[in-house]
A and B are shown apart, each in its own frame.
Chain A
Amino acid sequence: MSGLFIVQLLNGLQLGVLLFLIAAGLTLVFGVMNFINLAHGVQYMLGAYLAVMFYGYTGHFLVAVLLALVATLLFGLLLETVIFRRLYARDHLDQLLATFGIILFLNEAVKTVWGAAPLSLPIPELLSGSVPLAPGLNYPVYRFAIIGSGFVVGAALYAVVNHTRIGMLIRAGAHNAPMVSALGVDIGRLFMLVFAFGAMLAGFAGIMVAPVFSVEPGMGDSVLILAFVVIVIGGIGSIRGAFFGALLVGVIDTLGRSFMVDLLRIGVSTGQARAVAPALSSMLIYVIMAVILAMRPEGLFPVKGRQG
């Protein structure tokens, strides 16, 4: 039980850091530009597909990762310049509709180009194998690498947002974008930068999971919903909120799915526990979100003074 618990806790952390990578861009784009981007999830999907594609061309994992990162960054820039830029001034409903159209298109485009069957990326030699946590209990190195890279990115992001000039502008933008613009900052360039960088982070999450999850059309959709849950729990525009929200959601969701039956057996019979556990564990994060929002309608770490 305790060994399984540690493994599931690590799995939860892994899901948490992935959600953080996706939610970070989403919460910044939302917080700074007040732009709802449903198409953020497809960046995650594209990251995974591009990694598989570049691996097919080069046969080298690290090169494929770097190329895919650059490609997702460029793709984010392309989307921003061609489409999203025109939508910042629109109301949220128009943004929802347009970005929903982009999801439909890209999901189908991916299916047309790469086929509907799931693809996968082999785990690189260097990161294969597993680490013994206890006698008879191993955990794959690659999954540690995911968790580690997530924390590294999180720390880097924290440093950039809190201790650099550009980070200061981003934070100021999340508080009051018109004021930042009025003070002579080129807000358009700031938006573009934040957007492209957020897209790349989501792409990075997709690249990292390509060897462990199946790479398939629509893989970004359910992740997008989870990322929205995360940023709403954390408070929109807050990187810190996204970080803790992501870990909370990742760990609770994973542990809930593994241990709900055991937990319920304390109160009810085994049969009953088995009957209700799957539904209860699936809805656990939504229950938590509802409870958090009922008590704190602006999330755990609200950005002070943010409008709307």
Chain B
Amino acid sequence: MSGEAGALPLAAPAVPRPRAWLVGVVIFCALALAPLAVPFVGGNYLLLIGSRFMILAIAALSLDLLIGYGGLVSFGHAAFIGIGAYATGILAVHGFTEFYIAIPVAMLAGALFALVTGAVAIRTRGVYFIMITLAFAQMAFYVMGSLSAYGGDDGLTLPSRSLVFGSAALKSETVFFYAVLATLIIVTLALRRLVASRFGRVLQGLRQNRQRMEAMGYSAQGFQLTAYVIAGAIGALAGFLLANSTEFVSPAFMTWQRSGDLIIMVIIGGGGTLYGALVGALAFLSLEEGLSHVTDHWKLIFGPLLVLFVIAAPGGIARWLGWRAHE
């Protein structure tokens, strides 16, 4: 089958244009230099906020694989964050604090949840898919809230951040910030490779014209489920980082509002470019953070901004900047 891959009649190449790529480099450089500002503004607060932004950006990137490339609007992506975070927290409580144990276990847990729920969800389309993913996320939310041995609704405090080969280096906010940044860059590059690969092109082909792809012999459900599992594992990786960032895990990590926020980040950025999701996540979170410092009633400004944004810039920031990942 691999022989046919080069002949796929896709409308447009999936790879983001150089301009998008450049924006990515600029963002990563800016983030890398951000800790230099710490002595002048906010101190560790800046690092904490920055880490949180990047962690949610990782989750948004993985969601873009589903929404932008797969056409699968998952309204339950926060569940993967929660599952990764709980896996990390539960392991830590039982004394497994090494990152090389916590990360694979968290990602496997996310992948497994994605595999089981995805196998059912993939059977539906459109809004039915949105709602069934929400349903599974809500189930996970209530299950975590009922784990009385691990704090139930109140959540679970981690004894410490994950260890790196016995060292507590991640305790330093600066080190942790750079660890998150490194993860963000790795995830971005890996997803770029993935969407440009044969797998990624089939996934987009399925979004554009499912019947044609199926007629060519590609199994829609197989490809979409694989994408769902990959996105779930990356979402759980973000969960691992979030648990470490706050040293606390609670069902509040996986509310449907959080899933909604992630979708909003991807849409603001413009789905299907990856860098769009990155920009969208950072824009959404900085606007939220910035406006909430200006006034308590910041949503009075933020809400109409979103409406105006949609009317003025359909297709998100990415389309607005002229990036065209797909038609």
* A and B pair up: yes
| A282-308 interface (Cβ within 8 A of B) | 282-283, 286-287, 289-290, 293-294, 297-299, 308
Pair A100/B264 contact, Cβ less than 8 Å? yes
Residue of A nearest to B138 (CB): A286
B156 at the interface (CB under 8 A from A): no
Pair A297/B300 contact, Cβ less than 8 Å? no
Residue of B nearest to A101 (CB): B306
How many Å from the CB of A278 to the closest CB on chain B? 6
B175 at the interface (CB under 8 A from A): no
A86-B311, A276-B146, A293-B124 are known contacts. Are A97 and B264 too (CB-CB below 8 A)? Answer: yes
A101-B310, A109-B300 are known contacts. Are A93 and B148 too (CB-CB below 8 A)? Answer: no
Q: Which of A70-78, A120-128, A228-236 lies at the interface?
A: A228-236
Size of chain A's interface in residues, with CB distance under 8 A? 47
Size of chain B's interface in residues, with CB distance under 8 A? 43
A90 to B307 alpha-carbon distance, docked (Å): 13
Pair A290/B127 contact, Cβ less than 8 Å? no
B57 at the interface (CB under 8 A from A): no
Residue of B nearest to A233 (CB): B131
Pair B127/A104 contact, Cβ less than 8 Å? no
How many Å from the CB of B109 to the closest CB on chain A? 18
Pair B264/A112 contact, Cβ less than 8 Å? no
Interface string of A28-62 (1 = CB under 8 A from B): 00100000100000000000000000000000000
Pair B303/A290 contact, Cβ less than 8 Å? no
Residue of A102, A111, A225, A308 with most partner-chain B CB within 10 A: A225
| B88-142 interface (Cβ within 8 A of A) | 120, 123-128, 131-132, 134-136, 138-139, 142
A133 at the interface (CB under 8 A from B): no
**Contact residue among B73, B138, B297, B305 (Cβ-Cβ distance under 8 Å from A283):** B138
| List of A residues within 8 angstroms of B126 by Cβ | 92, 308
Pair B303/A94 contact, Cβ less than 8 Å? no
**Contact residue among B146, B299, B304 (Cβ-Cβ distance under 8 Å from A278):** B146
| B256-274 interface (Cβ within 8 A of A) | 256-257, 260, 263-264, 267-268, 271
A275 at the interface (CB under 8 A from B): yes
Pair B271/A93 contact, Cβ less than 8 Å? yes
**Given contacts A87-B311, A111-B297, A228-B131, could you give 13 more A-B pairs where the C-beta distance is less than 8 Å?**
A30-B127, A92-B126, A97-B264, A101-B303, A101-B306, A101-B310, A102-B303, A105-B304, A112-B300, A279-B142, A280-B142, A286-B134, A293-B128
| B→A interface (CB under 8 Å) | 67, 73, 120, 123-128, 131-132, 134-136, 138-139, 142-143, 145-146, 148, 256-257, 260, 263-264, 267-268, 271, 297, 299-300, 302-307, 309-311, 314-315
| A→B interface (CB under 8 Å) | 30, 36, 83, 86-87, 90, 92-94, 96-98, 100-109, 111-112, 221, 225, 228-229, 232, 236, 275-276, 278-280, 282-283, 286-287, 289-290, 293-294, 297-299, 308
What are 11 sample pairs from A and B whose C-beta atoms fall under 8 A apart? A87-B311, A94-B310, A97-B267, A97-B306, A101-B309, A103-B303, A105-B303, A108-B303, A280-B142, A283-B139, A289-B132
